């Protein structure tokens, strides 16, 4: 499917457009994204994943209305212009499907708060009219992980299912979306994932489902008939932790455990979403202790098995941290994108991956590993690429069996001779395509 060859770009619209604290007045900030499309094309992006942008109480995951673009961003017509322009540029569109819970001002829950047992929507949620919460509604309800501002939907209710599936149909009709990232997919029942997969495949061929999962094994989400892919948090952690501790054995272990040639490896042949940061975690530039490692981290997500995903602003080294329990610092606004040496390197990596079936589909085999260096092979029939990382500030001489005499670095375009060993410059990343 198309996602296997894609380069994703995540946009948190309420952040990028400066809308988080904009108040309730309607404006048209979402149209700012039109000006980013040339940047996306130059960067090599082929799919944009939008974090929540429908009407909500604050951060987007507390939905008020799934079928109306957030007033702080604009109108449905505004967003249709954006998605139309993205599709015209050859860029696919994936939305955030927040189907586990809604906000307290979601229209159906507001009706329950007003009418209690008399509300026709009381069974849309898991409510105990004999209890209460800290909001003192006079009844208790299930919430997401104890956050009572996020009201859990009763997905077992056929009316709720019909409403959600009709909503997806409307998104396809109005915006021609190509897929969904399923928020907290680890909370969604397996039967619901299977039903969602069947329904969406009927709505649009090759409709993509990406499941968010933080820990544990991902096979519960990505087995046949459920999600096509899942968020690879294990390797996200492994990348920055390995670089900060100068112990590449950590990420090497994770990559081999997930994708190695042995029969027991977990996700061989699967395309998980690879990332170095997102809207929920500190930005890469604020996480790494050595700024020289930024391009190496991106080299790993473009060189390893999976689907590389760039978080808006991080491609030029933007910083951002959680502050006082708030994620706002991770979700910055920008008037326009920037282009730096880091951006140029990432664009070269995206171009390399686009032109290499080995980087898109190849298996994984570890060739050489030390605390500060890692070389692994990605191979398909007719093409082999060796990904070489030197995280040290000193050059490293590597002796190994490359299986060929010469190669070309797909990032720089420079030739490479394996005769007499290979010299890895300080803080370097190479994608050597064997000749």
Domain spans of the chain, in order of start: 2-99+158-361, 101-154, 363-434
**HEC letters along 79-107:** HHHHHHHHHHCCCEEEEEECCCEEECCCH
Tell me which CATH code domain 363-434 carries. 2.60.40.1180
Burial 115-139 (b: 16+ CB within 10 A, else e): eeeebebbebbbbeeeeeeeeebeb
SS3 203: helix
β-sheet bridge partners, residue 93: 48
Gyration radius of the chain over CA positions: 23
> 429: exposed, middle or buried (C-beta count within 10 Å: 0-12, 13-18, 19+)?
buried
In tens digits, what is the pLDDT along the chain, a chain of 435 residues?
999 999 999 999 999 999 988 776 778 999 999 999 999 999 999 999 999 999 999 999 999 999 999 999 999 999 999 999 999 999 999 999 999 999 999 999 999 999 999 999 999 999 999 999 999 999 999 999 999 999 999 999 999 999 999 999 999 999 999 999 999 999 999 999 999 999 999 999 999 999 999 999 999 999 889 999 999 999 999 999 999 999 999 999 999 999 999 999 999 999 999 999 999 999 999 999 999 999 999 999 999 999 999 999 999 999 999 999 899 999 999 999 999 999 999 999 999 999 999 999 999 999 999 999 999 999 999 999 999 999 999 999 999 999 999 999 999 999 999 999 999 999 999 999 999
Query: What is the token pair recorded at 154?
Result: 């009763």
Phi, psi of 300 (to 5 degrees): -65, -40
pLDDT for the residue numbered 27: 86
**279 touches 12 (CB < 8 A):** yes
**First-last CA distance in the chain:** 28
Reference 178, options 79, 89, 87; nearest CA is 87
Q: Distance (Å, rounded) from C-alpha 198 to C-alpha 389?
A: 41
Q: Where are the beta strands (DSSP E) in 110-212?
A: 127-128, 140-141, 143-144, 147-152, 179-182, 208-211
Query: What is the token pair recorded at 1?
Result: 């499917």
Q: How many helices (H) and strands (E) does the chain have?
A: 13, 23
CA angle 5, 8, 13 (to 5 degrees): 160
Residue reference for tokens 């209305």: 65
Helix (H) or strand (E) holding 425: none
Assign a CATH topology to domain 101-154: Oligo-1,6-glucosidase; domain 2 (3.90.400)
CA angle 46, 428, 244 (to 5 degrees): 90
Does 2-99+158-361 carry CATH code 3.20.20.80? yes
Query: What is the token pair recorded at 240?
Result: 């920055």
Q: Do domains 101-154 and 363-434 have the same CATH topology?
A: no
């Amino acid at each position: 499917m198309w996602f296997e060859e894609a380069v994703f770009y995540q946009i948190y619209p309420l952040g990028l457009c400066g809308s988080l604290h904009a108040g309730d007045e309607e404006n048209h900030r979402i149209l700012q994204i039109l000006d980013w499309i040339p940047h996306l094309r130059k960067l090599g992006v082929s799919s944009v994943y939008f974090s929540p942008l429908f009407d909500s109480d604050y951060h987007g995951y507390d939905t008020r209305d799934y079928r109306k673009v957030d007033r702080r961003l604009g109108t449905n017509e505004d967003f249709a212009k954006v998605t139309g322009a993205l599709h015209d540029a050859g860029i696919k569109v994936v939305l955030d499907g927040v189907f586990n819970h809604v906000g307290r001002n979601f229209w159906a829950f507001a009706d329950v708060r007003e009418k209690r047992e008399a509300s026709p929507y009381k069974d849309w949620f898991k409510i105990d009219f004999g209890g209460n919460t800290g909001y003192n509604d006079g009844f208790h309800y299930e919430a997401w992980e104890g956050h009572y501002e996020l009201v859990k939907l009763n997905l077992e209710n056929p009316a709720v299912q019909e409403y959600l599936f009709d909503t997806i149909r409307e998104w396809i009709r109005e915006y021609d979306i190509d897929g969904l990232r399923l928020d907290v997919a680890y909370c969604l029942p397996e039967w619901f994932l299977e039903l969602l997969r069947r329904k969406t495949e009927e709505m649009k061929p090759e409709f993509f489902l990406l499941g968010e999962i933080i820990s544990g094994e991902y096979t519960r989400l990505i087995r046949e008939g459920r999600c096509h892919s899942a968020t690879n948090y294990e390797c996200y952690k492994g990348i920055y932790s390995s670089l900060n501790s100068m112990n590449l054995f950590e990420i090497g272990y994770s990559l081999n455990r997930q994708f190695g040639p042995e029969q027991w490896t977990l996700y061989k042949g699967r395309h998980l979403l690879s990332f170095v940061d997102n809207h929920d975690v500190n930005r890469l530039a604020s996480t790494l202790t050595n700024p020289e490692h930024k391009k190496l981290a991106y080299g790993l997500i473009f060189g390893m098995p999976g689907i590389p995903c760039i978080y808006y602003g991080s491609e030029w080294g933007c910083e951002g941290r959680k502050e006082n329990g708030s994620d706002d610092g991770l979700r910055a606004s920008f008037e326009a994108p920037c282009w730096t040496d880091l951006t140029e390197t990432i664009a070269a990596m995206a171009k390399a991956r686009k032109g290499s079936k080995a980087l898109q589909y190849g298996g994984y085999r570890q060739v050489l590993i030390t605390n500060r260096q890692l070389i692994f092979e990605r191979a398909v029939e007719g093409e082999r690429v060796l990904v070489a990382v030197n995280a040290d500030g000193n050059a490293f001489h590597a002796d190994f069996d490359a299986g060929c005499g010469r190669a070309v670095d797909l990032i720089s375009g420079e030739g490479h001779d394996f005769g007499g060993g290979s010299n890895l410059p300080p803080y370097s990343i190479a994608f050597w395509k064997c000749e």
